[in-house]
């Protein structure tokens, strides 16, 4: 077949280093960019096959997100904008690791197993972040697509969530939005303006937000979007990429792990600040307290703010829709406790305080508790779990997350928002819900969309960042990294909260945890960096630090540590 000859010829331009084996990680392949040319070409091939199989457009994003600038990686996007299905991660691994002369056999194997018709047209959308290596690597993806006769659309520099959005728009024939960057800006900014337009007396101070763009693509894109927001949000952008290095001493991952402000952000006490990561799919907020103390509002605080807001609107609208919050093992113990215990009390209080008219519309009272689920790290896992509910709010503590609304929930909200016979208060709540749905990028975590949502929620609820922070108090915590010879020796269970190998490690962690109050700790191999991650929390920062350190030493000793014993970045 001519297509296979073309693949053979083109793959010779993107040869695989003999013997190199790469694992499909938490969010695709990720390593030093010098090792990735053949992987990119092959992911172009795979995306084309996936497109033929699904008869839909598939996305390929060239990015290594929070990793250092010299790394790169690839994220594959399925038809509805979600991460590629796990079954195809296996094919991705087979193709990426097939030696040069085995590539065609590996390719034909996928075609056969998936019964793919090679006559079917294919379409692949490609995007890239701002890394110097992204230009040539995205060209390698395009070469792969064209070698199999696929059609491509190269979006060039876009954020990861923008590419996910384009794929979803394309495959829903525009129902989700227009598959252009301008269309994305228009949809989100209109929803934001609708949500905030009736908030009385928003001052310039309340509209002001400091943004750390991590010297990455998010900085470029939020600049482009600013005019669409018509001064309803006044952004001061730092780390815009004009001088600093991507993710270096800045960005969401640095701020979250180091628990300190990024370099270059000039913040005064009480000012709201946020940081994106390298491909703008994560966001964390923070501010400096009056005594100069750094306060972090991470993914857990974001999930709490959003779920509280949604629950309140559902109650006001008299809509009986179940809300769940999906977290991972990294979720701060205080956030889980707040969601499980306090949210229930809060809802009851709200109901009892509601006026007589409100009570009369609540023919069937809303479910009283927010369900909390825990999954393995990786948005693909959280996304999947969140899909099981009417409304699934999912956030990793690192700030990666979004909200999913089931089609039925969206319909109920829309129907109520358009029902002119319903009373004004219910309708107002339904309209706010409807605009909230429009503001959210439901395909994947999106720093820009999340930022606009948080800003809208704070405005609507009249909350300062300090009031948001005071919803609950985080347990002090610490994250460390340990380098081991082969991180695959660590195997975990129970949503990564316990290890099953190497022998003795879990017992060692258990006995260390017992030494501290309100303590918890777990370890897991990273799927984006060549390290083992250690997490610990306890009643004081000293205890959390000591526990993290001791657990790191246990990992080092029992899991084949190499080099430095542990470090925090
Ligand atoms: C990716 C994933 C996230 C995950 C993070 C860290 O984020 O999309 O779900 O939390 O990696 O994963 P790990 O601990 O396995 O290294 P990003 O923003 O880097 O693409």
Q: Select which of 11, 33, 65, 123 is catalytic.
A: 65
Residue 491 is encoded by which pair of tokens? 């195997």
96 and 158 fall within a common domain: yes
| Integer Cα distance of 198 and 297 in angstroms | 26
Classify residue 472: in a domain, yes or no: no
Of the candidates 7, 78, 63, the residue with the CA atom closest to the CA atom of residue 38: 7
Using N-to-C axis directions, what is the helix angle for 299-317 and 343-353, rounded to 10°?
30
7 and 110 fall within a common domain: yes
| Integer Cα distance of 107 and 143 in angstroms | 15
Q: What DSSP designation does 58 have? A: E
Classify residue 379: in a domain, yes or no: yes
Q: What pLDDT sits at residue 342?
A: 80
Of the candidates 530, 545, 440, 538, the residue with the CA atom closest to the CA atom of residue 490: 530
393 and 263 fall within a common domain: no
Question: How far out from the chain centre does Cα 145 lie?
Answer: 27
What are the phi and psi torsion angles at 173 (to 5°)?
Answer: 50, 40
For residue 41, the CA-to-ligand 1 centroid distance in Å is 23
Instruction: Give the CATH number for residue 228.
Output: 3.40.120.10
Answer whether residue 358 shows pLDDT above 80. Answer: no
Answer whether residue 350 shows pLDDT above 60. Answer: no
The count of other CB atoms within 10 Å of the CB of residue 381 is 21
Tens digits of residue pLDDT in 6-40: 999 999 999 999 999 999 999 999 999 999 999 99
Ligand 1 test: best mutation among 398, 482, 483, 535, most atoms within 8 Å of CB?
398
- Identify the domain containing residue 97 by its residue range: 2-176
66 Cα nearest atom in ligand 1: 19
Q: Which of 269, 297, 325 is the last residue of a domain?
A: 297
Tens digits of residue pLDDT in 483-526: 999 999 999 999 999 999 999 999 999 999 999 999 999 999 99
Classify residue 193: in a domain, yes or no: no
| Integer Cα distance of 275 and 463 in angstroms | 20
Atom 10, ligand 1: residue with shortest CA distance = 378
- The pLDDT confidence band at residue 1, using thresholds 50, 70 and 90, is confident
**Mean pLDDT in residue range 178-194:** 98
Q: What DSSP designation does 487 have? A: G
In order of 320, 406, 407, the CA distances from 390 in angstroms are: 9, 5, 8
143 and 207 fall within a common domain: no
For residue 147, the CA-to-ligand 1 centroid distance in Å is 31
Cβ atoms of 287 and 465 within 8 Å: the answer is yes
Q: What pLDDT sits at residue 566?
A: 58
Cβ atoms of 5 and 43 within 8 Å: the answer is no
- SS3 state of residue 18: coil
Residue 268 is encoded by which pair of tokens? 């005064």
Which residues does 169 contact at the CB level (< 8 Å), separation at least 6? Answer: 176, 177, 178, 179, 183
Lowest mean pLDDT among 283-287, 391-395, 417-421: 417-421
Q: What mean pLDDT value characterizes the chain?
A: 94
254 and 281 fall within a common domain: yes
The count of other CB atoms within 10 Å of the CB of residue 31 is 21
Of the candidates 212, 197, 191, the residue with the CA atom closest to the CA atom of residue 265: 212
Percentage of the chain beyond pLDDT 90 is 91
Cβ atoms of 79 and 57 within 8 Å: the answer is yes
285 and 323 fall within a common domain: no
| Integer Cα distance of 407 and 1 in angstroms | 43
Q: What pLDDT sits at residue 340?
A: 87
435 and 516 fall within a common domain: no
DSSP 143-170: HHHHHTT-EEEEEEE--HHHHHHHHHHH
Tens digits of residue pLDDT in 229-248: 999 999 999 999 999 999 99
Q: What pLDDT sits at residue 2?
A: 79
Cβ atoms of 263 and 254 within 8 Å: the answer is no
| Integer Cα distance of 60 and 84 in angstroms | 10
For residue 378, the CA-to-ligand 1 centroid distance in Å is 6
**Residue the block writes with tokens 């749905």:** 437
| Integer Cα distance of 127 and 220 in angstroms | 14
Known binding-site residues equal 65, 277, 279, 281, 396-398, 524-528, 533
Classify residue 120: in a domain, yes or no: yes
Q: Which of 430, 446, 462 is the last residue of a domain?
A: 446
Residue 443 is encoded by which pair of tokens? 């395909």
- SS3 state of residue 328: strand
Is 65 a residue of the active site?
Answer: yes
For residue 204, the CA-to-ligand 1 centroid distance in Å is 35
Lowest mean pLDDT among 260-269, 358-367, 411-420: 358-367
Classify residue 460: in a domain, yes or no: no
DSSP 192-210: HHHHHTTSTT--HHHHEEE
In order of 78, 123, 422, the CA distances from 145 in angstroms are: 15, 8, 52
Give the up-direction half-sphere exposure of residue 191: CA atoms within 13 A in the CB hemisphere: 27
Q: Which of 253, 278, 297 is the last residue of a domain?
A: 297
Q: What pLDDT sits at residue 567?
A: 58
For residue 24, the CA-to-ligand 1 centroid distance in Å is 12
Of the candidates 409, 408, 426, the residue with the CA atom closest to the CA atom of residue 417: 426
H or E segment to which residue 418 belongs = helix 407-418
Instruction: Give the CATH number for residue 523.
Output: 3.30.310.50
Q: What pLDDT sits at residue 266?
A: 85
**Residue the block writes with tokens 């009986």:** 320
| Integer Cα distance of 432 and 306 in angstroms | 13
278 Cα nearest atom in ligand 1: 18
Instruction: Give the CATH number for residue 368.
Output: 3.40.120
308 and 286 fall within a common domain: no
Pocket of ligand 1 (CB under 6 A): 26-27, 65-66, 277, 281-282, 377-379, 396, 398, 400, 526-529, 533
| Integer Cα distance of 182 and 169 in angstroms | 13
**Mean pLDDT in residue range 456-473:** 96
Cβ atoms of 457 and 195 within 8 Å: the answer is no
| Integer Cα distance of 543 and 522 in angstroms | 15
25 and 45 fall within a common domain: yes
Cβ atoms of 56 and 237 within 8 Å: the answer is no
Known binding-site residues for Mg(2+) equal 65, 277, 279, 281
DSSP 67-122: S-TTEEEEEEE-TTSSBPPHHHHHHHHHHHHS-GGGHHHHHHHHHHHTT--TTS--
Atom 18, ligand 1: residue with shortest CA distance = 65
527 Cα nearest atom in ligand 1: 15
Number of domains comprising the chain:
4
277 and 313 fall within a common domain: no
Of the candidates 190, 205, 240, the residue with the CA atom closest to the CA atom of residue 436: 190
Classify residue 138: in a domain, yes or no: yes
* ipTM here: 0.97
13 and 154 fall within a common domain: yes
120 and 203 fall within a common domain: no
Question: How far out from the chain centre does Cα 217 lie?
Answer: 15
């Amino acid at each position: 077949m001519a297509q296979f000859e073309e693949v053979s010829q083109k793959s010779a331009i993107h040869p695989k280093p003999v013997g190199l084996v790469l694992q499909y990680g938490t969010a695709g392949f990720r390593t030093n960019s010098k090792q990735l040319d053949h992987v990119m070409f092959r992911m172009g091939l795979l995306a084309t096959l996936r497109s033929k199989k699904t008869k839909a457009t598939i996305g390929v994003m060239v990015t290594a997100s929070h990793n250092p600038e010299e790394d790169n990686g690839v994220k594959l996007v399925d038809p509805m904008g979600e991460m590629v299905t796990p079954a195809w991660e296996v094919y991705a691994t087979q193709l990426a690791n097939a030696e040069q002369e085995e590539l065609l056999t590996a390719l034909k194997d996928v075609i056969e197993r998936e019964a793919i018709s090679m006559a079917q047209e294919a379409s692949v959308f490609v995007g890239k972040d701002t890394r110097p290596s992204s230009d040539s690597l995205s060209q390698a993806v395009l070469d792969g697509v064209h070698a199999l006769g696929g059609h491509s659309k190269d979006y060039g520099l876009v954020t990861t969530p923008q590419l996910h959005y384009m794929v979803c728009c394309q495959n829903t024939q525009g129902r989700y939005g227009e598959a252009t960057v301008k269309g994305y800006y228009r949809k989100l900014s209109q929803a934001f303006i609708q949500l905030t337009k009736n908030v009385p007396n928003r001052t310039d101070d309340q509209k002001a937000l400091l943004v750390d763009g991590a010297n990455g693509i998010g900085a470029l894109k939020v600049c482009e979007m600013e005019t669409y927001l018509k001064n309803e949000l006044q952004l001061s952008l730092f780390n815009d990429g004009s001088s600093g290095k991507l993710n270096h001493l800045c960005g969401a991952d640095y701020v979250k792990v180091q628990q300190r402000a990024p370099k270059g952000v000039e913040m005064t006490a009480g000012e709201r600040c946020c940081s994106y990561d390298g491909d703008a799919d994560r966001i964390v907020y923070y501010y400096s307290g009056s005594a100069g103390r750094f306060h972090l509002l991470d993914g857990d605080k974001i999930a709490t703010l959003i779920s509280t807001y949604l629950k309140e609107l559902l109650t006001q609208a008299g809509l009986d829709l179940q809300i769940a919050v999906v977290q991972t093992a990294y979720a701060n113990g205080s956030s889980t406790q707040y969601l499980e215990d306090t949210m229930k009390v809060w809802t009851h209080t709200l109901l009892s305080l509601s006026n007589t008219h409100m009570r009369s519309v609540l023919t069937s009272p809303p479910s009283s508790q927010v369900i909390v689920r825990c999954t393995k790290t990786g948005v693909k896992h959280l996304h999947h779990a969140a899909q099981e509910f009417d409304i699934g709010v999912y956030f990793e503590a690192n700030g990666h997350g979004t909200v999913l609304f089931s089609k039925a929930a969206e319909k109920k909200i829309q129907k109520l928002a358009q029902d002119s016979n319903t009373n004004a208060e219910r309708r107002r709540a339904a309209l706010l819900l409807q605009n909230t749905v429009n503001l959210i990028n439901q395909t994947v975590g999106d720093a820009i969309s999340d930022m606009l949502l948080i800003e809208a929620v704070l405005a609507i609820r009249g909350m300062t960042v300090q009031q948001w922070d005071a919803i609950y108090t985080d347990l002090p915590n610490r994250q460390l990294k340990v380098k081991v010879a082969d991180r695959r020796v660590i195997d975990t269970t129970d949503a990564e909260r316990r290890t099953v190998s190497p022998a003795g490690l879990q017992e060692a962690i258990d006995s260390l945890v017992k030494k501290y109050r309100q303590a918890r700790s777990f370890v897991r191999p990273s799927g984006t960096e060549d390290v083992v991650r250690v997490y610990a929390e306890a009643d004081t920062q000293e205890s959390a630090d000591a526990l993290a350190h001791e657990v790191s030493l246990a990992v080092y000793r029992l899991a084949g540590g190499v080099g430095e014993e542990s470090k925090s970045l």
